[in-house]
Structure formats: structure tokens, C-alpha cells
């Protein structure tokens, strides 16, 4: 079975912020976990470069849209690398291969009879690149997301007959109740469909930064139609000389709740219109909030992920985001919350468990993990952690899976406290027990590190190397899968404590 996971492609009208990093890390955690399970994974991310959001930003800066797109796309690509994301391809919608493939699919939608010429009249937000109904507006004329005053627009466009897909979409939702999750988002999308669907613009006449409509070069394809197709077009050219569509399509999409309607309503209808299989699933996550507001460039409250990583490291950021905010819901993040969790959980719980365990094996057994039988009670408590992590990640419950791992970290710390190996070491009659305790601790730490690897790859790898256990496969992730006998080595502290700044005099 193949596993094709995508993130939204990000607008290059501004620099990346932590909100963009969030979805990319989430997709990376799933991709890494699935690779551990031996799945054939393809992970896609990239940038959305056409349309008004970018054209207007370029105009404000006095540069050509392509120049802005080139400049900012590199920043998104660099961020992806810096986050440690293992994407298999980075798509840019200005790639000529993408543009050609978009034209082909749009031509097919046209030839299948789902396109007509019409006139759009209403409100349009150039930052969202979205048409707004009057009911959606705030204070009568403002975009509900960007809070900017919108103009009424009138324009001759090509239209996509979305209304013709009302019934097929309702059927899709009825037949596949889990195709959009969480359930609340499924309900939201379905009720939007049931209210009755209006046709949507498939092209724009007034802007030129985009992919030309194949049968009418005076218009460009509406940026959302162009952008959504990235998930499909990428597979046709990500590998030179190879078309990966058969191998990986359909995709699993990960998106933020701001773009639910496009993905859960318009996108499947477009695919049906083109005769292409609809996505396997869509998971919708919530917002990262700063002081209770969505972190967004237009609200001016963004955090630069690079700064956070410079200060605390990549793994720490990856961990914090999925620990602090329950994936799927909105949640606030803050520097103070970050430091608290870092010290309490990474430094004191996981880091400390690792350094104590390795130090005791070094001191009492010359660094060799004793080949002993495992503590039965501990084995019972940890027996199913790997399965629970797997189930949670299958349900895209990224925070839930991390919570399972953390419960086990705490269980191991309790084991150390209860067993007091330093006392056993002083008692010659307790040598066998000490062997069992040290072997159990090393095995527990190994299992947790394999399971936490998708979240904190560098730290987990360093720890596993120090344990003399480099196998990352999920097959070996059950407690007791490996015995003792490994030679351990020294490990620099994984998460040195952050000391509070000295109080001002």
C-alpha cells in the first residue's frame, strides 16, 4: 500500500511563519512514521505562486510577480529543510510542467461539459483569492479573515458548474463518513453542501499572473483551481522520466481549517468533473493562536520559526507544537509555555531518563547492557504502547500518539524511582535484579526513542546510537523485541535545561 501525504502549498506573498511550519511538521511526522512501518511513502509540499495574493504583493514591492515568487519560494524551501521535513518533492505552481498539466485537466473538465461562460458579480477578497457572499462579510463590506474592505466586482469569467455536483458530493459524504475528519469538520463541509452549491469562477479576466485558459488566452485559470491541482500534477513530473500517479494517487491531504471549503467541496467536485479519483482523506487541523488570535501575517502577530529553532533547536519546536496544542483544535502557544515544557518534559523527563540510564549502565556494567530478563510488570505496562501509537497516528491524532509515548516516559521514570538501582548496586546479592532493571530501562528507552523518532528525529537518533541500537523500524518498536548485550556509549545532554534569565537588579 502506498501512502501519499500532502500539505497546502503556501502563498509566496510573504515570508513563512510558524503557522506554515506547523502543517509541514505534522505531515512529516506522519510520513516518517509510515516509512518506519515500511510503507511506500510520498510526501509533497510546495508553494502557491499565482493569482492576486502574489501579484498584489509584488506590485506593492515594485517587483515582477515572478521575482517575488522566486525570492520567497526559496525561503519556504529552506524552511522545510530546516524543519527536518523529509518531503519527496517541492512543487512550485510556476513550474512549467505543473502549468501544462493544469491546462490538460481544465481542458478535460471543459470537454466533459462542466464549464460555461458567465458573469461574476459580488465581493472578492484579493488576499484570500476568494469570492465572498454577503452573509460572510463583517461590518457589511469586510473580509472576515483579513478585515479589509472589499470592493464589489463584476467580471466575465468561465464558470465551473459546481452546482451539478451537489448530489455526487452528498453521496460521497454518505458513503465515506471518515473521508473528512475530525467529525466536526465533516459536518461543517456537509452542511455547506446541503445549503445548495453555487457555481464558481474557473478563470479570471483581470489579472495576468497565472496559467492561461487553454481555449481562451485572454483569461487565466483561477488561482485556487490551479493550486488545488498541484496535488495531482506533482506526481506526473516529480521524478524525471517517471509518472508516479498510478503508484500514489489518491492523496491524503492535511490542511488548516481556513481552507476547508476549497478542499472538501470544490476539490472533489473538480476531480469528479475531470474523471479523476477523489482524495483518500482530508484531515483539518486548527489554528495556532497568539494571545487568542490566529497567528497570521495580516494580523501582525507571527512568530519566525527560524528564530525559535536557532534558540532551542528543531526537535524541540517539533515536539512543543504537538504537545501544547491538541492537533485538530485551536490552541495558544507562547514563549513561556515553550520554556516550561522544555524544562519539565524534555530536560527533566526524557533527557534525564536517558542520561541516568546510560550513566548507570556505564558505571555498574562497563557500558554493556546486561542480557537479562525484563521486568514483568513494566513489560505488561509497556506492551501495547507501539500499537496505541500506531492506531492514533492512523487516525491523524498526532498529539494523542505523543501523549501515549509520554505516558511511557513517565512510567519508566517511576520505574527508576521505585527500583533505586543505585541501592541495588551496593548490594552484591542484588546483581541479578540490577541486571534486569538496567536491561529493562535500556529496552524501554529504545522503544520510546523509536516511537518518538518521527517527532524528534535528531535527538532520538543520537540516543539510539548511544544505546547501540540503530534500527528505527516499527517492527522493532515493541517492548522486548530486542534483548540486552549492546555496547552503549556516552551521550551529551540531549536537552540542556534552559536557565531563566537572571532577575534584573
- Point out the residues that are catalytic: 17, 20, 125, 128, 143, 146, 294, 297
Q: Is 295 in the site for ligand MSP (CB under 6 A)?
A: yes
Closest-by-Cβ residue to ligand MSP is 19
Pick between residue 186 and residue 415 the one whose CB is nearest to ligand MSP. 186
228 binds ligand MSP (CB under 6 A): yes
What backbone phi and psi angles, to 5 degrees, belong to 199? -65, 155
Four-point Cα dihedral 349, 351, 357, 358, nearest 10: 180
Q: Does 98 bind ligand MSP (CB under 6 A)?
A: no
SS3 assignment for 412-438: HHHHHHHHCHHHHCCCHHHHHHHHHHH
Interface residues for ligand MSP in 342-371 (CB under 6 A)? none
Q: Which of 53, 33, 52, 51 is nearest to 43 (CA)?
A: 33
Tell me whether residue 225 or residue 494 sits nearer to ligand MSP (CB atom): 225
| Beta strands 331-332 and 288-290, pairing class | parallel
Residues in contact with ligand MSP, counted by CB under 6 A, come to a total of 21
* 305 touches ligand MSP (CB under 6 A): no
Q: Which region holds residue 366: left if phi is over 0, alpha if psi is between -120 and 50, else beta?
A: left
Confirm or reject binding of residue 94 to ligand MSP (CB under 6 A): no
Which residues sit opposite 293 in a β-bridge? 290
Q: Which is nearer to ligand MSP, 10 or 249 (CB)?
A: 10
Q: Is 259 a residue that touches ligand MSP (CB under 6 A)?
A: yes
Binding piece for ligand MSP, criterion CB under 6 A, among 140-148, 254-262, 415-423, 452-460: 254-262
Q: Is 232 in the site for ligand MSP (CB under 6 A)?
A: no
Binding part of the chain for ligand MSP, among 19-27, 337-345, 361-369, 419-427 by CB under 6 A, reads 19-27
Q: Which among 166, 161, 164, 162 is positioned nearest to 116, based on CA atoms?
A: 161
Greatest alpha-carbon span in the chain: 89
- What are the CA-CA distances from residue 325 to residues 26, 258, 284, 288, 330 (Å)? 12, 17, 14, 8, 7
**Is residue 288 involved in binding ligand MSP (CB under 6 A)?**
yes
Of 26-65, binders to ligand MSP (CB under 6 A) are 48
Question: Closest Cα partner for 324 from 403, 385, 405, 396?
Answer: 403
Our finding on whether 320 is near ligand MSP (CB under 6 A) is no
CB of 258 to ligand MSP, least distance (A): 5
Q: Of 50 and 446, which has the nearer Cβ to ligand MSP?
A: 50
Minimum gap (Å) between residue 397 Cβ and ligand MSP: 17
Q: Give the range of 9-17, 158-166, 379-387, 492-500 binding ligand MSP by CB under 6 A.
A: 9-17
C-alpha cell at 54: 502574489
> Which H or E element spans position 281?
strand 281-285
> With respect to ligand MSP, which residue has the nearer C-beta, 295 or 372?
295
From 3, 22, 312, 415, residue interacting with ligand MSP (rule: CB under 6 A): 22
Q: Which of 454, 457, 474, 388 is nearest to 26 (CA)?
A: 454
Type and span of the H or E element at 89: strand 89-92
Q: Does 294 bind ligand MSP (CB under 6 A)?
A: yes
3-state secondary structure 309-348: HHHHCHHHHHHHHHHHCCCCCCEECCHHHHHHHHHHHHHH
Cβ neighbors of 310 (< 8 A, separation 6 or more) are none
Q: How far is the CB of 448 from ligand MSP (least distance, A)?
A: 28
Q: Which of 5, 9, 306, 434 binds ligand MSP (CB under 6 A)?
A: 9
Residues lying near ligand MSP in the complex (CB under 6 A): 8-11, 19-20, 22-23, 48, 227-228, 230, 255-256, 258-259, 287-288, 294-296
Amino acid at each position: 500500500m502506498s501512502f501519499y501525504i500532502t500539505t497546502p502549498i503556501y502563498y509566496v506573498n510573504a515570508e513563512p511563519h510558524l503557522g506554515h511550519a506547523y502543517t509541514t511538521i505534522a505531515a512529516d511526522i506522519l510520513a516518517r512514521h509510515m516509512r518506519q512501518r515500511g510503507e511506500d511513502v510520498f510526501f509533497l509540499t510546495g508553494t502557491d505562486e499565482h493569482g492576486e495574493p502574489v501579484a498584489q504583493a509584488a506590485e506593492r514591492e515594485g517587483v515582477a510577480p515572478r521575482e517575488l515568487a522566486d525570492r520567497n519560494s526559496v525561503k519556504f524551501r529552506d524552511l522545510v529543510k530546516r524543519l527536518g521535513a523529509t518531503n519527496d518533492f517541492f512543487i512550485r505552481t510556476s513550474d512549467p510542467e505543473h502549468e501544462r498539466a493544469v491546462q490538460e485537466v481544465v481542458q478535460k473538465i471543459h470537454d466533459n461539459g462542466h464549464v460555461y461562460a458567465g458573469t461574476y458579480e459580488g465581493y472578492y477578497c484579493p488576499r484570500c483569492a476568494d469570492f465572498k457572499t454577503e452573509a460572510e462579510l463583517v461590518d457589511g463590506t469586510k473580509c472576515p479573515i483579513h478585515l479589509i474592505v472589499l470592493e464589489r466586482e463584476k467580471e466575465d469569467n468561465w464558470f465551473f458548474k459546481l452546482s451539478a455536483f451537489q448530489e455526487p458530493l452528498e453521496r460521497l459524504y454518505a458513503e465515506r463518513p471518515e473521508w473528512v475528519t475530525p467529525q466536526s469538520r465533516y459536518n461543517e463541509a456537509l452542511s455547506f453542501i446541503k445549503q445548495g452549491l453555487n457555481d464558481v469562477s474557473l478563470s479570471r479576466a483581470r489579472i495576468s499572473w497565472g496559467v492561461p485558459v487553454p481555449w481562451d488566452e485572454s483569461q487565466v485559470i483561477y488561482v485556487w483551481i490551479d493550486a488545488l491541482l498541484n496535488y495531482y500534477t506533482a506526481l506526473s513530473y516529480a521524478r524525471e522520466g517517471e509518472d508516479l500517479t498510478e503508484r500514489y494517487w489518491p492523496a491524503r491531504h492535511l490542511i488548516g481549517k481556513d481552507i476547508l471549503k476549497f478542499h472538501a467541496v470544490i476539490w472533489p467536485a473538480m476531480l469528479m468533473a475531470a474523471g479523476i479519483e477523489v482524495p483518500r482523506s482530508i484531515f483539518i487541523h486548527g489554528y495556532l493562536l497568539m494571545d487568542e488570535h490566529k497567528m497570521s501575517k495580516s494580523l501582525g502577530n507571527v512568530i519566525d520559526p527560524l528564530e525559535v529553532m536557532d534558540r532551542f533547536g528543531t526537535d524541540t519546536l517539533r515536539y512543543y507544537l504537538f504537545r501544547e496544542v491538541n492537533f485538530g483544535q485551536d490552541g495558544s502557544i507562547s514563549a513561556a509555555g515553550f520554556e516550561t515544557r522544555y524544562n519539565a518534559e524534555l530536560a527533566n523527563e526524557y533527557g534525564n531518563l536517558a542520561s541516568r540510564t546510560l550513566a548507570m549502565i556505564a558505571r555498574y556494567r562497563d557500558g554493556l547492557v546486561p542480557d537479562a530478563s525484563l521486568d514483568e510488570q513494566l513489560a505488561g505496562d509497556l506492551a501495547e504502547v507501539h500499537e496505541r501509537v500506531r492506531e492514533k497516528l492512523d487516525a491523524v491524532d498526532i498529539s494523542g500518539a505523543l501523549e501515549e509515548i509520554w505516558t511511557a516516559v513517565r512510567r519508566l521514570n517511576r520505574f527508576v524511582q521505585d527500583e533505586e538501582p543505585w541501592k541495588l548496586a551496593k548490594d552484591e546479592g542484588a546483581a541479578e535484579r540490577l541486571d534486569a532493571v538496567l536491561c529493562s530501562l535500556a529496552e524501554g528507552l529504545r522503544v520510546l526513542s523509536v516511537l518518538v523518532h518521527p517527532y524528534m528525529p535528531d535527538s532520538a537518533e543520537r540516543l539510539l546510537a548511544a544505546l547501540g541500537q540503530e534500527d528505527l523500524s516499527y517492527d522493532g518498536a515493541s517492548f522486548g523485541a530486542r534483548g540486552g548485550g549492546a555496547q552503549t556509549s556516552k551521550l551529551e545532554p540531549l536537552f540542556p535545561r534552559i536557565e531563566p534569565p537572571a532577575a534584573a537588579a
